[in-house]
């Protein structure tokens, strides 16, 4: 039988990770309010399901956008034939305007620098193909999105070297962590091509501070490497501090005509803010014309359906709609996040303070039987199989400290979230009782041991006294 490629036989696709395994378990026994109220609640999927009503209402008012019509004229033929990898001009214009609007119009984007791709998955891989190859490495702060192992490494042959971040400073990137990662890559004989950050962060749900962004710009300038800023959650920033894009930092520091300007690339997508992962809309934004040229040609391998480009160009061109959507989306996300945080609090569980994203980074270290990843796995399995909540363990995000979990809040109804919190509360109480019983037992044994040791030493003292006499 003809041999297959190494890519097929290895497991570099990363899909044996618990992130995907939990998903599989959920699929076997999915929760349904009516049909399967005891099923597993999906809290491992970072989807935004809170604003579909706004999208549906817009669709109802704008039937032409789905009927291949422009000003009542059929443009079906034009769309059916449109496969230009430069993308539909009207859509790119609407998209860059939307991206600017999300950033409070502090920056503007040029459609000539934008490349459309079938989702951010495709955008990230394409960018990697343009910047790195076998023998090269990209530095990534941990914890990071499990899918990156597949998206950045699998077919490109590039390596990921983690920038270790810790809870001691809220998992922020430090200069020493950056340097350490760089040295680590060199030790492995890998050529560092760049740093990739997700801002706002997945799984942390935090936006990067100006300090961190400045640090990154300094670092990539000094090392003469690239900086990729995956900003797919930029539209989900629901409370302060406001989102600061890497482009804004470059602009503020007047770095537009310097070398580092062309080494900064942004990835965006409509899957998170607009909640449209099924439509496969992603984009690469780069100031390097060679990268734009190469990425444009590569986008042939994952173009966005013209049918979808047209629908979304109409939607995003409606500025009244986008303004209302962005505002309502933020409000609803904030409200929902608050519900999760307070629900967890009632269960004695705290989260990393966050202002963005569709999830919280939850601290369950105190529920581990030991400060190990084995204990984290044990806890995770109990939560998936017994508590029936599919949450994502920190190890699947390459977190260096056991005990952290990513819990999504925007992909279910309020009632379902309530139920999830109740289940968690009961679980934690039962562990606490168990732990209490366990602790009581431990205390008792300790007491008994102490008594016995005391008796022994008293005895030996007595014996010694006897001996010495």
Q: Any idea which residues carry the catalytic annotation?
A: 145, 230, 232, 272
**Can you tell me the distance from the alpha carbon of 310 to that of 294, in angstroms, rounded to the nearest whole number?**
24
Written as six digits, the tokens of 462 are 């007595």
Q: What is the DSSP letter of 151?
A: I
Rounded least distance, CB 79 to other proteins, Å: 5
Which of 3/257 has CB closer to other proteins? 3
Contact call for residues 412 and 41 (beta carbons, < 8 A): yes
The DSSP result for 381-404, as a single string, is HIIIIIS-EE-EEGGGGT-SSTTE
Binding residue (CB under 8 A) for other proteins from 99, 131, 237, 419: 131
Rounded least distance, CB 176 to other proteins, Å: 25
Binding residue (CB under 8 A) for other proteins from 308, 355, 390, 392: 308
Residues contacting residue 296 through CB under 8 Å, at least 6 positions apart: 85, 86, 115
Q: Whose structure tokens read 């670092």?
A: 219
Subset of 248-277 contacting other proteins (CB under 8 A): 263, 271, 275-277
Cα dihedral across residues 109, 47, 355, 59: positive or negative = positive
Binding residue (CB under 8 A) for other proteins from 19, 98, 129, 373: 129
Rounded least distance, CB 291 to other proteins, Å: 6
Subset of 138-197 contacting other proteins (CB under 8 A): 150-151, 155, 193
Which of 47/318 has CB closer to other proteins? 47
Rounded least distance, CB 449 to other proteins, Å: 55
Kindly report the number of other CB atoms within 10 A of residue 286's CB atom: 25
Binding residue (CB under 8 A) for other proteins from 303, 344, 362, 399: 303
Binding residue (CB under 8 A) for other proteins from 43, 132, 213, 407: 132
**Can you tell me the distance from the alpha carbon of 228 to that of 89, in angstroms, rounded to the nearest whole number?**
24
Counting contacts by CB under 8 A, is residue 81 touching other proteins?
yes
Contact call for residues 238 and 263 (beta carbons, < 8 A): no
Rounded least distance, CB 154 to other proteins, Å: 8
Subset of 395-414 contacting other proteins (CB under 8 A): none
Residues contacting residue 215 through CB under 8 Å, at least 6 positions apart: 173, 174, 175, 178
Written as six digits, the tokens of 402 are 């056991």
Q: How far apart are the first and last CA of the chain?
A: 89
**Environment class of 256 (CB within 10 Å of its CB; exposed 0-12, middle 13-18, buried 19+):** exposed
Rounded least distance, CB 302 to other proteins, Å: 4
Which of 8/34 has CB closer to other proteins? 8
Subset of 326-345 contacting other proteins (CB under 8 A): none
Counting contacts by CB under 8 A, is residue 452 touching other proteins?
no
Subset of 11-50 contacting other proteins (CB under 8 A): 13, 15, 47, 49
Which of 263/398 has CB closer to other proteins? 263
Binding residue (CB under 8 A) for other proteins from 77, 187, 320, 469: 77
Which of 60/168 has CB closer to other proteins? 60
Which of 241/289 has CB closer to other proteins? 289
Contact call for residues 249 and 219 (beta carbons, < 8 A): no
Rounded least distance, CB 212 to other proteins, Å: 23
For residue 195, give the H/E element and its range: strand 191-198
Contact call for residues 443 and 451 (beta carbons, < 8 A): no
Binding residue (CB under 8 A) for other proteins from 96, 137, 208, 225: 225
Rounded least distance, CB 66 to other proteins, Å: 5
Counting contacts by CB under 8 A, is residue 136 touching other proteins?
yes
Written as six digits, the tokens of 61 are 């008012």
Coil, strand, or helix at residue 196? Answer: strand
Which of 68/405 has CB closer to other proteins? 68
Residues contacting residue 34 through CB under 8 Å, at least 6 positions apart: none
- Stretch near other proteins under the rule CB under 8 A, chosen from 116-124, 387-395, 439-447, 455-463: 116-124
**Can you tell me the distance from the alpha carbon of 43 to that of 187, in angstroms, rounded to the nearest whole number?**
38
């Amino acid at each position: 039988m003809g041999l297959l490629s190494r890519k097929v036989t290895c497991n570099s696709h990363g899909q044996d990770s618990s992130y995907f395994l939990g998903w599989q378990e959920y699929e076997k026994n999915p929760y349904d309010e009516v049909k399967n109220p005891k099923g597993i609640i999906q809290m491992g999927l970072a989807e935004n399901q809170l604003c579909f009503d706004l999208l549906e209402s817009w669709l109802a008012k704008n039937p032409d956008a789905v009927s291949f019509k422009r000003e009542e004229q059929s443009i079906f033929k034009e769309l059916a034939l449109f496969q230009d990898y430069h993308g539909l001009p009207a859509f790119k214009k609407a998209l860059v305007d939307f991206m600017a609007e999300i950033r409070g119009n502090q920056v503007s984007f040029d459609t000539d620098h934008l490349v459309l791709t079938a989702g951010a998955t495709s955008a990230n891989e394409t960018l990697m193909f343009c910047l790195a190859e076998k023998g090269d490495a990209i530095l990534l702060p941990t914890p990071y999105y499990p899918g990156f192992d597949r998206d950045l490494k699998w077919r490109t042959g590039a390596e990921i070297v983690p920038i270790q971040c810790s809870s001691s400073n809220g998992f922020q990137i430090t200069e020493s962590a950056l340097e350490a990662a760089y040295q680590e890559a060199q030790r492995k004989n890998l050529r560092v091509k760049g740093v990739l950050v997700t801002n706002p962060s997945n799984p942390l749900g935090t936006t990067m501070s100006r300090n961190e962004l400045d640090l990154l710009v300094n670092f990539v300038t000094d090392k003469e490497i690239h900086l990729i800023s995956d900003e797919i959650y930029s539209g989900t920033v629901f409370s302060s501090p406001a989102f600061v894009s890497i482009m804004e930092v470059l602009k503020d520091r007047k770095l537009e005509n310097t070398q580092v300007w062309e080494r900064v690339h942004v990835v965006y997508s409509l899957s998170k803010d607009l909640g449209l992962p099924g439509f496969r809309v992603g984009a690469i934004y780069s100031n390097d014309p060679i990268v734009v040229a190469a990425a444009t040609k590569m986008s042939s391998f994952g173009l966005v359906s013209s049918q979808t480009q047209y629908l979304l160009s109409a939607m995003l061109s409606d500025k009244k709609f986008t303004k209302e959507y962005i505002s309502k989306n933020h409000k609803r996300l904030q409200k929902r996040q608050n519900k999760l945080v307070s629900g967890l609090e009632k269960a004695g569980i705290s989260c990393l303070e966050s202002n963005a994203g569709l999830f919280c980074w939850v601290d369950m270290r105190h529920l581990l039987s030991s400060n190990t990843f084995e204990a984290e796995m044990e806890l995770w399995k109990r939560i998936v199989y017994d508590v029936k909540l599919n949450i994502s363990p920190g190890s699947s995000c390459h977190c260096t400290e056991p005990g952290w979990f990513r819990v999504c809040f925007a992909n279910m109804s309020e009632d379902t979230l309530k139920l999830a919190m109740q289940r968690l509360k009961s679980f934690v109480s039962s562990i606490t009782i168990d732990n209490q019983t366990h602790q009581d037992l431990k205390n008792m044994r300790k007491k008994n041991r102490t008594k016995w040791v005391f008796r022994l030493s008293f005895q030996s003292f007595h014996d010694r006294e006897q001996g010495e006499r």
